[in-house]
Amino acid sequence: MDPAVRQKSRLEKMEPLFSLRLQDGTRWGFWADGETAPRLARFARILGLSPFDGSVSDWRLFFSRHGPCKWYCHPADGWQTKHLRVIKLHYHPDKPEIHCEMGPDRQDVLEIFKLQNALFPIYETAQKKGGVPIHGALIERDGAAVVIAASGGTGKSTCCARVPPPWNPLCDDDTLIVREKGGEGYAAHPFPTWSRLVDGSCQSSWCVQGSLPLKAILFLERAEQKDSVVTINKLEVAARALALPSHMLNDLWFDLELDDYRRQRTTFFRNVSTLVNEVPCYLLRATLKGAFWEEIERCVM
């Protein structure tokens, strides 16, 4: 058999190596060609992905060194490409499949950014179902979660480091909020802190597949003297939330074609407007030494 035909047959029958199931019901399958299998393995390790469980995937993300291969992809034409910072994503309107073109191997931080950019279609697809990727930490107690949302350098990581048991910090940078399957309520998934992987300060993995019902969103402000949780009006809530898309999205949106950029921003605006009308939102004023979690327990939990 011709080697190209044999390789085509192998890829067509190949099952995904890893799976991801989000609480909105979306099921992802991930697989790779031989050259990029180590990258996918690292991606799966960082995100805590499960080995493929045999279920049917709604979406498939294929890691490859090059773009869609004409003898593998059916139909061969009609593919559309999004050029992100360090990767290319290839979509086809008739296929629930996305090819992530990773390019040549690199031995520096660029590899981390490539893996981070590969999350884009997961965030993008979640938004189509009402999800909100937000720049915020996720902490939980007794099976319920709250998001502490803020821009970088405001104190999210400090808050996560300080909460005592039975509080449990799940992530301190990005959280994906999704509609519960069936449309009743929201759930939150913790996502990685990529900057810690870049600077080498953390080699942990995050259990992205794990999720918890979302109890509230707290917009963080630093306080000098007293910790407090304060009710704020819906207009201020919406303004604060709209300023806090996942910082990865905020960067990558500007790489998109203008029409796509507008669609992405409009979807985020619509989803945030719905979210803040259904989930309680507060202003959290936290000092460096106070027990801010007690205020959360008193006012929110």
**256 and 199 both lie in a single domain:** yes
9-44 pLDDT, tens digit each? 444 445 678 999 999 999 999 999 888 999 999 999
Same domain, 163 and 276: yes
* 229 within domain boundaries: yes
pLDDT in tens, 209-238: 999 999 999 999 999 899 999 999 989 999
147 belongs to a structural domain = yes
- For residue 123, is it within any domain? no
The reported pLDDT for the residue numbered 202 is: 66
Residue 21: CB partners within 8 Å, gap ≥ 6?
27, 28, 50, 55, 209
CB atoms within 10 A of CB 157: 19
Examine the pLDDT at 184 and tell me if it is beyond 60.
Answer: yes
Residues 113 and 236 in one domain: no
Region at 155 (left for phi over 0; alpha for psi -120 to 50; beta for the rest)? left
Do 184 and 233 sit in the same domain of this protein?
yes
Do 25 and 183 form a contact (C-beta atoms < 8 A)? no
- Average pLDDT over the chain, rounded to an integer: 89
pLDDT digits (tens, 9 = 90+) for 128-163: 999 999 999 999 999 999 999 998 778 899 999 999
Is 151 domain-assigned? Answer: yes
Say if residue 45's pLDDT is above 80.
yes
Give the model's pLDDT for residue 70.
54
Looking at the fold, whether 182 and 272 belong to one and the same domain comes out as yes
pTM for this model (two decimals): 0.91
Note whether residue 285 is domain-resident.
yes
Q: 139 and 10 in one domain?
A: no
Whether residue 112 is found in the same domain as residue 155:
no
Residue 125 within any structural domain of the chain: no
Q: How confident is the model at residue 76 (pLDDT cuts 50, 70, 90)?
A: low
Report the domain count for the chain: 2
Three-state SS at 18: strand
Domain termination residue (choose one: 69, 94, 118): 118
113 plus 8 within the same structural domain: yes
d(CA 99, CA 84): 13
Residue-number span of the structural domain to which 107 is assigned: 3-118
What mean pLDDT comes out for the span 282-299? 94
Residue type, 148: I
Q: In whole angstroms, give the CA distance from residue 33 to residue 64.
A: 6
- Residue 127 falls within a domain, yes or no? no
Q: Are residues 143 and 290 in the same domain?
A: yes
Give 297 or 203, the one with higher predicted confidence: 297
Among residues 114, 96, 97, the alpha carbon closest in space to that of 105 is found at 114
| 162 and 291 assigned to the same domain | yes
Residue 181 has pLDDT above 90, yes or no: no
Residue 59 has pLDDT above 60, yes or no: yes
Residue with structure tokens 């905020």? 250
Q: Is the dihedral of CA 184, 216, 238, 136 positive or negative?
A: negative
pLDDT (tens digit, 9 = 90+) per residue, 84-109?
999 999 998 888 999 999 998 877 78
Last residue of a domain, one of 95, 118, 141: 118
Please say if the pLDDT value at position 4 is more than 50.
no
179 and 265 share one domain: yes
Regarding whether 63 and 159 lie in a shared domain, the answer is no
Mean pLDDT of 174-178: 97
For the chain, what is the radius of gyration of the CA atoms?
20
User: Above 70 in pLDDT, residue 262?
Assistant: yes
Residues contacting residue 73 through CB under 8 Å, at least 6 positions apart: 79, 92, 95, 99
Is the pLDDT at 205 greater than 80? The verdict is yes
Q: Which two tokens stand for residue 213?
A: 């019902």
**Domain annotation covers residue 126:** no
Q: Of 118, 143, 173, which residue is a domain's last?
A: 118
Q: Nearest Cα to 32, choosing from 3, 91, 72?
A: 72
